Amino acid sequence: MQNIPGTDIYTTTTTAASTTPPATYDLWINATDNTPNKNSNTTVSISLTILPQETISTYNFSTGAGEDKWAFRKQHKKKPPAVNNVPNIEFTSSRYKKIMADDGVMQIDRSTIRKRYAIHRFNFTMQEPESGVTGIDVLWDGKGYKRFGRKGAAIYVWNFTDSCYEKLSSGTSTYLTLEANITDNIEDYIADDGTFIIIAQQNTRQWWLGRPSRIGTDYIMVNVTYEPHF
């Protein structure tokens, strides 16, 4: 045991064996003074809770798409869209390659119709049961540009309970890294089948031809923190 300097308090550290099942145990402490003529033994029980180990899973396109992740492009008239299945043109494999890594190489899309915003949609199927998910971190890196308009972009997450997008983060620089951390009401954002949806949308819609709204995704990553129940 170690003395906390300047106090008469001693501390000690104990580590449960790695095979200890998650549960709450009694930890018995028997403290003995080491000067025999002043021995005074005290035995107390401390409640010790062994928690399951957290795992963090990363969802991105580093190994390509399909099975549990997909990306779509390229324009939509509402910001944010009122439904979660637009835009619906899936990336081709050459486009997926551009969003595999945070390397400055981007999949850039521009609007081609008046009153449309450039937009990308990302769908993930999370393998972790939603009841054990304690946090979701989202990172989107890219570019939002509109000549004579507000530059930058915003990212949103789909809320399955309220059936609407919620803004996670936004910025007005041409090049952006937008990040968000979801820790509350996580079950609202993961569908029963594990679906989790993020969009990145440019800030200004196209007005005239030749002045398109542009969105570029360099990289997107979703980290899921999972703590199994016991």
* One of 103, 129, 134, 187 touching Ca ion (CB under 5 A): 103
Shortest distance, CB of residue 141 to Ca ion, whole angstroms? Answer: 8
Using CB under 5 A, which of the segments 7-15, 20-28, 99-107, 190-198 binds Ca ion? 99-107
What is the identity of the amino acid at 51? L
218 belongs to the binding site for Ca ion (CB under 5 A): yes
Distances from the Cα of 213 to the Cαs of 100, 112, 194, in angstroms?
A: 23, 8, 32
62 belongs to the binding site for Ca ion (CB under 5 A): no
**Residue 212 vs 216, nearer CB to Ca ion:** 216
The footprint of Ca ion on this chain (CB under 5 A) covers a number of residues equal to 3
Q: Computed over its alpha carbons, how large is the radius of gyration of the chain?
A: 25
Shortest distance, CB of residue 173 to Ca ion, whole angstroms? Answer: 18
Nearest CA to 225 out of 125, 130, 122, 100 is that of 130
Distant-in-sequence, close-in-space partners of 176: CB < 8 Å, separation ≥ 6: 140, 141, 142, 143, 144, 152, 153
187 belongs to the binding site for Ca ion (CB under 5 A): no
**Residue 33 vs 103, nearer CB to Ca ion:** 103
Q: Is the peptide bond before 212 cis (omega within 30 degrees of 0)?
A: no
End-to-end CA distance of the chain: 32
105 belongs to the binding site for Ca ion (CB under 5 A): yes
**Residue 124 vs 226, nearer CB to Ca ion:** 124
**Residue 133 vs 138, nearer CB to Ca ion:** 138
Shortest distance, CB of residue 119 to Ca ion, whole angstroms? Answer: 18
Helices (H), the chain: 93-98
Using CB under 5 A, which of the segments 79-87, 155-163, 203-211, 218-226 binds Ca ion? 218-226
Distant-in-sequence, close-in-space partners of 92: CB < 8 Å, separation ≥ 6: none
**Residue 54 vs 103, nearer CB to Ca ion:** 103
**Residue 102 vs 166, nearer CB to Ca ion:** 102
Site for Ca ion, rule CB under 5 A:
103, 105, 218
